[in-house]
Chain A
Amino acid sequence: MTQKILAAHAGLDSVQAGQLVLAGLDLVLGNDITSPVAIKEFAKLGKDSVFDRNRITMIMDHFAPNKDIKAAEQCRMCRDFCGEMDITHFYDVGEMGIEHAFIPEKGLATAGDLVIGADSHTCTFGALGAFSTGVGSTDMACGMATGKAWFKVPAAMKIELKGSLRRYVSGKDVILNIIGRIGVDGALYRSMEFTGEGLASLSMADRLCIANMAVEAGAKNGIFEVDVTTLAYLKEHGAAEPNVFKADADAVYEEVLTVDLSQTEPTVAFPHLPGNARTFSEIGDIKIDQVVIGSCTNGRLEDLIAAAEILKGRKVAKGVRTIIIPATQQIYLRAMEMGLLKIFIESGAAVSTPTCGPCLGGHMGILAAGERAVATTNRNFVGRMGHVDSEVYLASPATAAACAVTGRITSPWEVMGV
């Protein structure tokens, strides 16, 4: 699928793994951290316009609402640049959401698109059937100027899904399991292509979460075969007409991995790598200080619904700071209308405006030395959420909510009596 999308955008009939191509871009994305570097690079060209003002988006989500004066200046630089270049899709506080939740919701990407973003989790849009990958700021600058980027065509790794998920098990558990199996460089440079009869049972929220963390296995991109669920989602969100690429029956895969969704259990990735995945038979009594439910990985409405189901009528354990961050304004609004926010606040959780915030140790929930957090985010590297001696355990929204209730690392099956 990936190779076909790259070939189509490079004006070639076909491409081979390892081939270098210069390809046209449908969307170029940046945030408040990576865009300032790209804007400085762009300025070196002395150009007074971008390649297409409708195909660039800048979203102020990482250190916004501005966490300090320097962050405020970085956001202002983006705001000024987008004003000067008359960029259509600039999104600031009050309108913005976490970029990888926001873009699909806004219908800014569609199946068959080629998307680059100066953010590693740009691979999320592979869930829509797009080729979508994270790049650096210089690539973003080049993309803004020319509408093109260079790519080495990745080899493909097939992930064959079968069965369907059990109660309180989600896409997050699936991807943590996969990374646990293959390691944090198990898909290095490769495209992870998700397919199989199990696909039909996965919601778009699950698929977006799985594609989001393809980069944590080292992959260039993660891409899902387009089906009726994808097409319905794209239509609902007003995305452009999809261009569906299907893998050939004789497509070449470097590796094939079979994942039985029905055997997947609640999973936690231990510090300090997303690949340190364990299921609850291997987890002892671990006390925690904080829970974070949100991020580009798990801040979607379905994630909040899963957390609310567990927190409803229960209280967050004393001493566990529970922070819930809807990923977009739209999700926040829907959560309010559905009464989810009431459930969260009554349980003793704090609810925040959309931001990447604590996921990368920016703001809104930084850890002190020796503290432990369970987070629905995507990375648990040393110092990721604060002090170098703090720890982050990655889990699904259901597991994180269960941990908030007990104050220790707990399976949602235990809390819900499964």
Chain B
Amino acid sequence: MKYTGNAIKYGDNIDTDVIIPARYLNTSDHKELASHCMEDIDKSFVSRVKQGDIIVAGQNFGCGSSREHAPIAIKASGISVVIARSFARIFYRNAINIGLAIVECPEAAENISEGDMIEADLDNGIIHNITTGRDFRTEPFPEFIQNIIENGGLMQSVAKGLIR
């Protein structure tokens, strides 16, 4: 898994209420959710995000509600990877379960600036900042999680009989 895109930066404690406000949770349509993604913290996100872009954030990204609508909205808006200093745990597992690539890497989170061109090589655990030429190492996923991702998500693993 290798993704390339420009960085869109956010701070600490980005909660699921700002990623997708509850007033839009009366739908589970991916495109509709994406059209309100980050609306309460960054009104320009929807208009400036490009396919493949990478969110780079501080600590505790995705804290708050368990709404899977949050990673769904991010993925459907075109974001390929979220890199953060740390993630809230429900958001973390939801992202894996729906197949949104997600990387915990404090060093990368600190040393990537808005707009930098980033290449995230998740198989080898390397985040490459093309703009500055710096590389950052990350922990590769444990095998258990790799299996889920390689099979396209948790439900696909269940469908294939890998989880009974």
Q: Is the CB of A218 within 8 A of B97?
A: no
Q: Contacts of B142 on A, CB cut-off 8 Å?
A: 20
Q: Does A185 contact B (CB under 8 A)?
A: yes
Q: Is the CB of A138 within 8 A of B97?
A: yes
B-contact 0/1 string along A109-122, CB 8 Å cutoff: 00000000111101
Given A141-B155, A150-B144, A381-B15, does the pair A118, B28 have CB atoms closer than 8 Å?
no
CB neighbors of B among A151-198 (8 A): 184-185, 188-189
> Among the listed stretches A129-137, A329-337, A409-417, which one makes contact with chain B, having 4 or more residues with CB under 8 Å of it?
A129-137
Q: Contacts of A36 on B, CB cut-off 8 Å?
A: 28
Q: Does A351 contact B (CB under 8 A)?
A: no
What total of chain B residues lie within 8 Å of the partner, measured CB to CB? 43
> Among the listed stretches B45-53, B63-71, B106-114, which one makes contact with chain A, having 4 or more residues with CB under 8 Å of it?
B63-71
Q: Is the CB of B154 within 8 A of A184?
A: no
Which of A40, A44, A145, A185 neighbours the largest number of chain B CB atoms within 10 Å of its CB?
A185
Q: Contacts of B18 on A, CB cut-off 8 Å?
A: 381-383
Which of B25, B64, B154 neighbours the largest number of chain A CB atoms within 10 Å of its CB?
B25
Within the complex, the shortest CB–CB distance from A152 to chain B, in Å, comes to 8
Q: Does A230 contact B (CB under 8 A)?
A: no
Specify which of B15, B28, B64, B144 is in contact with A37 (CB 8 Å cutoff): B28
Q: Contacts of B164 on A, CB cut-off 8 Å?
A: 146, 148
Q: Is the CB of A383 within 8 A of B68?
A: no
Specify which of A22, A145, A148, A188 is in contact with B89 (CB 8 Å cutoff): A188
Which residue of chain A has the shortest Cβ distance to B65 in the bound complex?
Answer: A120
Given A218-B88, A388-B40, does the pair A361, B23 have CB atoms closer than 8 Å?
yes
- Distance in angstroms between the alpha carbons of A379 and B22 in the assembled complex: 12
Q: Is the CB of A185 within 8 A of B88?
A: yes
Within the complex, the shortest CB–CB distance from A29 to chain B, in Å, comes to 11
Q: Is the CB of B66 within 8 A of A134?
A: yes
> Among the listed stretches A9-17, A68-76, A87-95, A394-402, which one makes contact with chain B, having 4 or more residues with CB under 8 Å of it?
A68-76
Q: Does B1 contact A (CB under 8 A)?
A: no
Q: Is the CB of B86 within 8 A of A185?
A: yes
- Distance in angstroms between the alpha carbons of A34 and B69 in the assembled complex: 8
- Distance in angstroms between the alpha carbons of A36 and B68 in the assembled complex: 11
Given A379-B17, A382-B17, does the pair A218, B60 have CB atoms closer than 8 Å?
yes
Q: Is the CB of A138 within 8 A of B89?
A: no
Q: Is the CB of A138 within 8 A of B21?
A: no
Q: Is the CB of B27 within 8 A of A361?
A: no
A-B contact pairs, 15 of them (CB 8 A): A22-B163, A37-B72, A63-B25, A135-B66, A136-B97, A139-B93, A142-B154, A142-B158, A146-B163, A148-B163, A185-B88, A361-B21, A383-B18, A384-B17, A388-B40
